[in-house]
Amino acid sequence: MGWQDRRYDRDDDAGIGGSLRRAMRRLFVEGDDFFSWSLPLMTVLGIRVRVHLFYVVYIAATLIWSLRQDSIGFMYAAMAMGTLFVLVLLHEFGHCLACRWVGGEADRILMWPLGGLAACRPPHRWTAALVTTLAGPGVNLALVPFLGAAVFAVGGGWSEVFFNPFDPKKALVLSPFRGHVQVLVWWAYYTNLVLLLFNMLLPMFPMDAGRVVQEVLWPRVGYRRSMLFATNLGLLLAVPVGLFGLMGGSSALFAIALFAGMTCYQERMRVRMLDEDGPLSGYDFSRGFRGMPDPDDERRAYERARKQQEREQKERAEVDRILSKIARDGMGSLSRSERRTLERETERKRKGF
């Protein structure tokens, strides 16, 4: 996804106050990128974690709503949201660390109301992409026995470990759990299972199962055709999933289906642009099968697009640094090269590039 190749913070962030001001400026003045409206949370192993402003608003609204007399209560709502946040974050770290392990780049995670988005750029190989994808749910799978053992440790039994995931309230009500710690442990176990099943049983791109479908097909039919299949499947599934969420009163499920559908459409258009002249572009019919284009053409096209994105990313980062310097020290502090860079960016924006 495009957001993965764009910088959302800078090394010269001056604390939360400065980051909040920059986020507000991006939101109300430069609000052309939804995913840039975020605040820094922490950096672990060189991976910067940011929290979207809408997620902050969502958490605050949920906690306020939990104060009603007919709700689950502030404490339980806070525990539920905190548990979900940590498990999703661990899931995204799994993607990032696996991407680095296969030789790729991963340096950012964005937490937002629909989950997490990891900025992973694995090598353009199906094996590297598949390892990167499976590592996220692999973290959830690895946590299952540990969290299950924790349920037993706080007084639970087999009925609290094996239950109907579509009716979790029944398992919780019939359990002996009444204390906050017991409920928190069971909820972590249940939430982890839901994340694992939801990501791996619903093949709706860009969710993990949808990516796995694309990556398994990649060596058989090629990158382009595998992406078209995965995105078309995602578009097809987004409709019933969205309707199910809408009729079932699940706004989160409806929003996920809407986001997946939009992502599939954008990815489908991007992949189609890799070969604007059609799948037989460059084919010399007089040479039979030998006239087919080089099978590495897709890889080279992808590499060219990736390098172009990297150049644009570096240019944006340099402009951000220059603007920060102007705000701090004034125009007089700029060097000749910095002035030329700013002039080029101004001219580019003036022409609408």
- Helical H runs in the chain? 15-28, 53-65, 74-101, 126-153, 158-161, 168-174, 180-201, 208-221, 223-247, 251-273, 297-329, 336-350
Instruction: Compute how many other C-beta atoms are within 10 angstroms of the C-beta atom of residue 127.
Output: 13
Evaluate if residue 67 carries a pLDDT over 50. yes
What's the pLDDT score for residue 284?
37
Q: What percent of the chain has pLDDT over 70?
A: 74
Provide the residue ranges of all domains of the chain, joining segments of one domain with +.
Answer: 217-275, 305-353
User: Contact 36/8 with Cβ under 8 angstroms?
Assistant: yes
pLDDT in tens, 186-209: 889 989 998 999 899 889 988 899
Evaluate if residue 295 carries a pLDDT over 70. no
Q: pTM of this prediction?
A: 0.67
Evaluate if residue 334 carries a pLDDT over 60. yes
Range with the poorest average pLDDT among 7-16, 107-116, 173-182: 7-16
pLDDT in tens, 252-278: 888 888 888 888 888 888 887 765 444
Sheet with 115-121, side-by-side order of all strands: 38-44, 47-52, 105-112, 115-121
What's the pLDDT score for residue 232?
92
Range with the poorest average pLDDT among 54-58, 122-126, 285-289, 332-336: 285-289
Evaluate if residue 37 carries a pLDDT over 70. yes
Residue in the structure block whose two tokens are 């060097």: 335
What's the pLDDT score for residue 305?
73
Evaluate if residue 288 carries a pLDDT over 60. no
User: Contact 275/253 with Cβ under 8 angstroms?
Assistant: no
Residue 338's nearest CA partner among 308, 307, 315 is 315
Evaluate if residue 132 carries a pLDDT over 80. yes
Q: What percent of the chain has pLDDT over 90?
A: 25
